[in-house]
A and B are shown apart, each in its own frame.
Chain A
Amino acid sequence: MSRISIDQVKHVAHLARLAMTEEETVSYTEQLDKMISFAELLNELDTDHVEPTSHVLDMKNVLREDKANKGLPQAEVLKNAPEHQDGYIKVPSIIE
């Protein structure tokens, strides 16, 4: 029994914003199934009373003085944009 279905893989690919052919969907279903089954090794461990670690150092909120710093110049920022016009980054129309 597969741990993940083709429909689930299509859903995950959509969430990840990855275009995928039917063939690739089948291949990713197999690959993800293998990786998930490998990850299930962790279920051997009882972790009910274990705190999760998101950060290894004992750090609290890091604050800085609320002072404005100069941003990057607009022309520089636009330099790497694939398409731009009048100081804006251009994308396909999103309102019909």
Chain B
Amino acid sequence: MVSLFDHKVSELHQLLHKKEITVTDLVSESYKRIGEVEDKVQAFLTLDEERARQAAKRMDGKLGTDEAKGLLFGMPIGVKDNIVTKGLRTTSASKILENFDPIYDATAASKLHNAETITIGKLNMDEFAMGSSNENSGFQVTRNPWNLERVPGGSSGGSAASVAAGEVLFSLGSDTGGSIRQPASYCGVVGLKPTYGRVSRFGLIAFASSLDQIGPITRTVEDNAYLLQAISGVDPMDSTSANVEVPSYAESLNGDVKGLRIAVPKEYLAEGVNEEVRQSVLEALKVLEKLGATWEEVSLPHSKYALATYYLLSSSEASANLARFDGVRYGYRTADPENLIDLYKKTRAEGFGDEVKRRIMLGTFALSSGYYDAYYKKAQKVRTLIKQDFENVFEKYDVIIGPTAPTPAFKIGENTSDPLTMYANDILTIPVNLAGVPGISVPCGFADGLPLGLQIIGKHFDESTVYRVAHAFEQATEYHKQKPGL
């Protein structure tokens, strides 16, 4: 089925410029497709159709003028529901924020306004971004467009599924332990987690502040680079955003990987990684070799400790961050509390889902008096070792390559009984967040009709090299051209 969204941003921009299409056409394409497939995919929690159509009409008047020169002018985007959007309901997929109406924009959202994209709606996710399947959403389970019985991945499941299904041109997600890359892999699209500090977290409803990053999900690497360009940069509202120059990412997409040194961690192709996934990565390495890159096996020896480290640190940070949801200033409040403490306790017990409570409990325990050193501080120390693993490898290599996830998308309900099995899905993405480096997932094959993703990891603030490699691989292969038969 032909869609306007089969075009890249740069092509659509040209079509707008020549007035062969209008912004209204692009917005209509989104809502038409949503009308066709959304009852199956269920990617959206909130749609903003009236305002989007009004904006499109207004912007059509600017076509052909200097005011329409911006590359992202008029492009329809979906935004993950943990990124606050002024006047557009934002829930983080939690009952505790069911009717929350933000009074300001996240910095990433205001940068989208400046770039003049059009927000189509807010996308489903695991509640407070805690999950790998979207089954932890407080409202609905998004389906994988490639197979409706499978999960889209998570936590940015709605962000990846909506792009794969052609409901939007591109979207924003957030990634704390793999939440952009894993769903991108499962849905056959391109997802990048930027370097920690590259994109402002102001207005991103915090899960684990030392790990969270907002990032783009797109059909192509080129579009991904353009979207990251628009949302990057230091922000006075987020003191952890980095004052590091933002290069022109599109300029790095030159297809040249001659002499590139690739490291392949043996831990990333070890037991637990599905055979078809392993083969797809080895095939991808052959493609890059043909283009002039070389690869060697290396070791990230502390990989097996990453999962435990991550769950201690992210849950500890979450337990502190989620303390603000207490039924006082905003969000859900329990009916008829006996006193203030009772108001807090019942509000939170009724408002949060099971997984969120489980992590708040683990985090509160790990931070509590008598256990802090043994669990929280211990995990912070192991984090240093994991970070050093990456530093050591990056002394000799330009990028690290492996699978994004150990398997293709699993069945809905398959992993819900045991949280630890579910957590194991993120084993190849978590170390990247712990080290704070950038990582991308690009389509690299199929297993039983389900997409697989190749993960390319770079040095701090070296998104340019990550994009260059991802783009060269993408241009040499056909996987990204396939679409789900919805």
Interface residues of A (CB under 8 A from B): 4, 8-9, 11-13, 15-20, 28, 31-32, 34-36, 38-39, 41-45, 47, 50-57, 59, 62, 64, 72, 76-77, 79-83, 89, 91-94
Contacts and interface: CB of A to CB of B under 8 A. Distances in A.
A18 B348 contact: yes
A52 B381 contact: yes
Interface string B322-343: 0100111111110001111111
B334 to A, nearest CB: 9
Given A81-B329, A83-B333, A41 B305 contact: yes
Contacts of B349: 18-20
Given A47-B378, A79-B103, A94-B340, A9 B383 contact: no
Contacts of A47: 378, 381-382, 385
B382 A31 contact: no
A53 B384 contact: yes
A89 B328 CA distance: 7
Contacts of B338: 92
A55 B330 CA distance: 30
Contacts of B361: 9, 12-13, 16, 18, 28, 31-32
A82 B362 contact: no
Interface string B356-397: 011011101110100000010111111111010000000000
A52 B384 contact: yes
Nearest to A29: B361
Given A16-B361, A19-B349, 20 more contacts: A16-B364, A18-B360, A32-B362, A32-B365, A38-B311, A38-B420, A41-B304, A52-B380, A57-B197, A57-B436, A59-B240, A62-B240, A64-B236, A72-B103, A80-B329, A82-B333, A91-B340, A92-B337, A92-B338, A94-B339
A17 B239 contact: no
13 contacts: A19-B345, A28-B361, A31-B419, A42-B379, A47-B378, A51-B381, A53-B380, A56-B196, A56-B435, A57-B196, A57-B240, A81-B328, A92-B343
Contact of B365 (A12, A45, A52, A92): A12
Contacts of A50: 381-382, 384-385
Nearest to B327: A82
Interface in B395-447: 419-420, 434-436
A62 B365 contact: no
A39 B363 CA distance: 12
B171 interface: no
Interface residues of B, number: 68
A17 B383 CA distance: 29
Interface in B45-84: none
Q: Which 6 pairs show the lowest CB-CB distances between chains A and B? A: A56-B436, A52-B380, A80-B330, A82-B333, A19-B349, A47-B381
Contact of B368 (A15, A55, A83): A15
A34 B365 CA distance: 13
A26 to B, nearest CB: 13
B309 interface: yes
Given A19-B345, A80-B330, A31 B358 contact: yes
Contacts of A59: 197, 240, 242
A80 B103 CA distance: 9
A41 B360 contact: no
A46 to B, nearest CB: 10
Nearest to B376: A52
B364 A12 contact: yes
B242 A39 contact: no
Nearest to A90: B328
Nearest to B370: A8
